[in-house]
């Protein structure tokens, strides 16, 4: 079968949206399909985004492939008689973040008009698809609420999960992820002011927002946490990441209302590490069951510190939760066989 995987990307920004395209393409090729990745740059600028989307909408790939698979918005506006959508998220500032402090857009007449037009176009284009799969239950709920669509869930797997191994439960809570305000690395740093044990925090990742990295560095310095917090403000090699997670006490993931559980949580599962998350973490809560394969804390520095200390003082508990985390993957049916069947059946 000839397949095109279409997605948008932000130039010079690497993340899960790029991985899901590359990994899906690799798996489909391994099955013997001819696969082409069709990637176009896109910037979430309300002044130009409708014009950008109009350009996408003019592209008709009907005679270029047997099936079109669309990933990151606005790829699903492309035209094809057999269009599948693996929906990973909306343009969130126009949707679930609109009435929150995380929405940086003015609520003026122009922006409201852009929002209405975007929501109408999304609903129309998604309605054209032969099938829409939601990346998580959180995304499924948003599609139902904003677009009136009922969609099955299709969780994303890791490309090579066997590379993640379990090591001793050390003394560091780890987060390897892009440094972004909504991922709340700053709250993890604040938590280290309240710990009562020798637990450490290890943060790794680059950022498209240099000012946020500077904020984290200033926070560490201002509170004298250099001995407790390690900040590697860069992307580390995969081998290094696997090593860091293998020796971790636990993995943290407290992004606000995350679209899914994110790759960092899957990596924790395969490395048999408990996950520390928060009550407002969105898709992560589909994976983590409090007290079973991780800890779910209130999103406060004090509550997170207590979770850090609990696992530091009880390594046997951390080990049991880690084992349960590995089993959780099978319970949820996360794997490439299910994804590939959905994309090619």
Q: Is the pLDDT of residue 45 over 90?
A: no
Contact assessment for residue 158 and residue 329, using Cβ atoms and an 8 Å cutoff: no
* Number of folded domains that form the chain: 2
Q: Categorize the per-residue pLDDT at 44 as very low, low, confident or very high, splitting at 50, 70 and 90.
A: confident
Q: What is the CATH number of the domain that holds 39?
A: 3.40.50
| Residue 27 lies inside a defined structural domain of this protein | yes
| Residue 148 lies inside a defined structural domain of this protein | yes
Q: Which residue has the higher pLDDT, 190 or 19?
A: 190
pLDDT digits (tens, 9 = 90+) for 148-158: 999 999 999 99
pLDDT digits (tens, 9 = 90+) for 294-319: 999 999 999 999 999 999 999 999 99
Degrees (nearest 5) of the Cα angle 290, 286, 87? 160
Answer yes or no: do 169 and 296 share one domain: yes
Answer yes or no: do 130 and 258 share one domain: no
pLDDT digits (tens, 9 = 90+) for 259-294: 998 899 999 999 999 999 999 999 999 999 999 999
Answer yes or no: do 147 and 171 share one domain: no
Q: Categorize the per-residue pLDDT at 11 as very low, low, confident or very high, splitting at 50, 70 and 90.
A: confident
Answer yes or no: do 67 and 107 share one domain: yes
| Residue 221 lies inside a defined structural domain of this protein | yes
Task: Compute the distance between CA of residue 83 and CA of residue 102 in angstroms, rounded to an integer.
Answer: 32
Answer yes or no: do 49 and 90 share one domain: yes
| Residue 236 lies inside a defined structural domain of this protein | yes
Answer yes or no: do 238 and 286 share one domain: yes
Task: Compute the distance between CA of residue 192 and CA of residue 181 in angstroms, rounded to an integer.
Answer: 17
Task: Compute the distance between CA of residue 127 and CA of residue 147 in angstroms, rounded to an integer.
Answer: 9
According to DSSP, residue 192 is labeled: T
Answer yes or no: do 178 and 310 share one domain: yes
Note the pLDDT of residue 15. Answer: 67
CA gyration radius for the chain?
21
Answer yes or no: do 134 and 71 share one domain: yes
Number of other CB atoms surrounding residue 254 within 10 Å? 25
Contact assessment for residue 187 and residue 304, using Cβ atoms and an 8 Å cutoff: yes
pLDDT digits (tens, 9 = 90+) for 221-230: 999 999 999 9
Domain boundary among 154, 170, 196: 154
Q: Categorize the per-residue pLDDT at 14 as very low, low, confident or very high, splitting at 50, 70 and 90.
A: low
| Residue 88 lies inside a defined structural domain of this protein | yes
Answer yes or no: do 306 and 208 share one domain: yes
pLDDT digits (tens, 9 = 90+) for 92-137: 999 999 998 888 899 999 999 999 999 999 999 999 999 999 999 9
The alpha helices in the chain, defined as continuous H runs, are 16-30, 49-57, 109-127, 137-147, 185-191, 210-222, 238-246, 262-270, 301-313, 315-332, 336-344
Q: Is the pLDDT of residue 323 over 80?
A: yes
Task: Compute the distance between CA of residue 289 and CA of residue 251 in angstroms, rounded to an integer.
Answer: 14
Torsion angle of the four alpha carbons 222, 225, 226, 232, in this order, in degrees rounded to the nearest 10: -90
Q: Is the pLDDT of residue 17 over 80?
A: no
pLDDT digits (tens, 9 = 90+) for 57-84: 999 999 999 999 999 999 999 999 999 9
Answer yes or no: do 273 and 147 share one domain: no
Note the pLDDT of residue 13. Answer: 67
Cα–Cα distances (Å) from 295 to 20, 107, 282, 330, 339, in that order, read: 27, 37, 14, 20, 29
> 250: domain range?
161-332
| Residue 323 lies inside a defined structural domain of this protein | yes
Answer yes or no: do 192 and 302 share one domain: yes
Q: Categorize the per-residue pLDDT at 209 as very low, low, confident or very high, splitting at 50, 70 and 90.
A: confident
Percentage of the residues of the chain whose pLDDT score is greater than 70: 99
Q: Phi first, then psi: what are they for 94, rounded to 5°?
A: -95, -10
pLDDT digits (tens, 9 = 90+) for 135-144: 999 999 999 9
| Residue 23 lies inside a defined structural domain of this protein | yes
Contact assessment for residue 326 and residue 306, using Cβ atoms and an 8 Å cutoff: no
Helix (H, G, I), strand (E, B) or coil at 110: helix
Mean pLDDT of the chain: 94
């Amino acid at each position: 079968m000839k397949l095109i995987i279409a997605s948008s990307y932000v130039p010079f920004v690497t993340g899960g949206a790029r991985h899901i395209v590359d990994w899906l393409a690799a798996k489909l090729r391994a099955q013997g399909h001819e696969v082409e990745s069709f990637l176009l740059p896109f910037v979430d600028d309300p002044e130009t985004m409708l014009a950008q989307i109009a350009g996408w909408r003019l592209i008709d790939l009907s005679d270029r492939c047997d099936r079109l698979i669309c990933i990151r918005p606005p790829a699903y506006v492309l035209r094809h008689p057999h269009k599948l959508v693996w929906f990973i998220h909306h343009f969130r500032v126009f949707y679930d973040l609109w009435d929150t402090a995380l929405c940086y857009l003015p609520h003026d007449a122009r922006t409201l008009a852009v929002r209405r037009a975007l929501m109408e176009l999304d609903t129309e284009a998604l309605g054209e698809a032969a099938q829409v799969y939601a990346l998580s239950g959180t995304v499924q709920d948003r599609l139902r609420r904003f677009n009136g669509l009922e969609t099955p869930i299709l969780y994303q797997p890791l490309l090579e999960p066997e590379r993640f191994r379990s090591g001793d439960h050390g003394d560091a809570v780890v987060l390897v992820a892009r440094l972004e305000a909504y991922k709340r690395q700053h709250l993890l740093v604040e938590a280290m002011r309240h710990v009562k044990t020798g637990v450490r925090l290890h943060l790794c990742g680059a950022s498209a927002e240099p000012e946020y990295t500077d904020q984290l560095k200033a926070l560490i310095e201002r509170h004298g946490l250099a001995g407790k917090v390690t900040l590697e403000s860069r992307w580390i090699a995969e081998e290094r990441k696997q090593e860091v997670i293998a020796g971790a006490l636990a993995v943290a993931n407290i992004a606000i209302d995350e679209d899914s559980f994110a790759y960092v949580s899957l990596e924790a599962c395969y490395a048999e590490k408990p996950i520390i998350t928060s009550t407002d973490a969105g898709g992560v809560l589909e994976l983590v069951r409090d007290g079973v394969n991780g800890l779910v804390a209130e999103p406060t520095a004090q509550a997170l510190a207590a979770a850090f200390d609990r696992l530091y003082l009880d390594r046997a508990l951390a080990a049991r939760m880690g084992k349960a985390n590995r089993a959780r993957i099978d319970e949820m049916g996360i794997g490439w066989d299910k994804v590939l069947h959905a994309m090619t059946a």
